[in-house]
Amino acid sequence: MRTYVKRHGWRRLMAIVLVPFLGSALIAGIKTVLTDQVSGAGKAAVATLVGGDEARSVPLRLGDAPLVATVTTGGMCEPGTGRLVRDEGAASRIPGEKLNSPSTGPFLSASAEVLLQGTSAQAVLLKNMRVVVDLRSPPTGVIVAQRSECGGGVDSRPFEVDIEPGGAKLTPKAGRKLLRPGVAPPPNVVVEDGLSGRSYAVEPVEFPFAVTMSDPELFDITASVTTCDCLWHLELDWQSAGRTGTAVINNSGKPFRTSSAPFLRCDIRSKPIKCGT
């Protein structure tokens, strides 16, 4: 080092030592500034767009609301739920075991199951639920998912989310009620056999609903899109024991992501993979 200093001087040595450090610090600082410029739903939207999410089922605490939500995404039976890839040719080159891997592409979901449960025996009135669109982008690529046997949901409150421009509406749909063993069905209903058991159709039901710890409600939310790659979340108005509030329901802190890109089901047993509508 002494020889180097004598030949080149202290300033040259300090430049060699400090410039890489200062460069890294500067880059980190720029990243921090850019991140801080995008906050709230916008920050979550950026994170979702660049990385996508796994299919998951996790509890979600809703702020100070006396409620716990369990949000389940990734029902591969729903058209529009799968991995986003560049095109059908790219899909056919994916190894079968990688079809649902995060390395394949971002995860998009056309549906979400939301289980809402009180935290005590005190009833919580669920007054209203609405959809909020965080970001709209043009659809790109294709969505791919593995072919699988699918059955309809039962004992849930089905709703459709319209997230088209000028829409953003939550509409109740007809559902199915599971017939418990030994329990007779109501009169004048048609009972059908399914993968989950015997069930019958029930009429659409609007908000409000009431829940407790022992009496939850399961909402089956299906998103409807035709012209966008959209990020969205739900807002729930609640009331209990003289308190009121609004809770945000999302995908573990990130918005749900739904796209109108073409949807393909893939047969991973064929070599190469065969995908089609």
Judge if 17 and 59 occupy the same domain.
Answer: no
- Per cent of the chain over pLDDT 70 is 68
Judge if 20 and 104 occupy the same domain.
Answer: no
Domain count, the chain: 2
Nearest C-alpha neighbor of 80 from the set 265, 275, 263, 277: 263
Can you tell me the mean pLDDT for 69-90? 77
Look at strands 111-118 and 67-73 and give their pairing: antiparallel
Judge if 28 and 57 occupy the same domain.
Answer: no
Judge if 75 and 122 occupy the same domain.
Answer: yes
Predicted pLDDT of residue 213: 94
Whether the pLDDT of residue 245 is over 90: the answer is: yes
Can you tell me the mean pLDDT for 208-224? 92
Q: How far apart are CA 125 and CA 127, in angstroms?
A: 6
Domain extent for 113: 42-148+205-276
* 176 Cβ contact list (under 8 Å, min separation 6): 152, 153, 154, 155, 194, 199, 200, 201, 202
* Residue 238 structure tokens: 């609640």
Judge if 83 and 55 occupy the same domain.
Answer: yes
The model's pLDDT over 88-99, given as tens digits with 9 standing for 90+, comes to 777 777 776 677
Judge if 2 and 83 occupy the same domain.
Answer: no
Predicted pLDDT of residue 144: 82
CB 163 within 8 A of CB 232: yes
CB 86 within 8 A of CB 259: no
Judge if 25 and 78 occupy the same domain.
Answer: no
Predicted pLDDT of residue 25: 40
Judge if 113 and 14 occupy the same domain.
Answer: no
- Maximum average pLDDT range among 161-165, 184-188, 241-245: 241-245
DSSP per-residue codes, 78-108? STT-EEEES-HHHHHTS-GGGTTSTTT--EE
Can you tell me the mean pLDDT for 55-83? 78
Q: Give the mean pLDDT of the chain.
A: 75
Look at strands 107-108 and 111-118 and give their pairing: unpaired
At residue 51, the 3 state secondary structure works out as helix
Burial of 230 (0-12, 13-18, 19+ CB in 10 A): buried
In a domain, 157, yes or no: no
Whether the pLDDT of residue 56 is over 70: the answer is: no
Judge if 138 and 117 occupy the same domain.
Answer: yes
In a domain, 192, yes or no: no
Judge if 23 and 100 occupy the same domain.
Answer: no
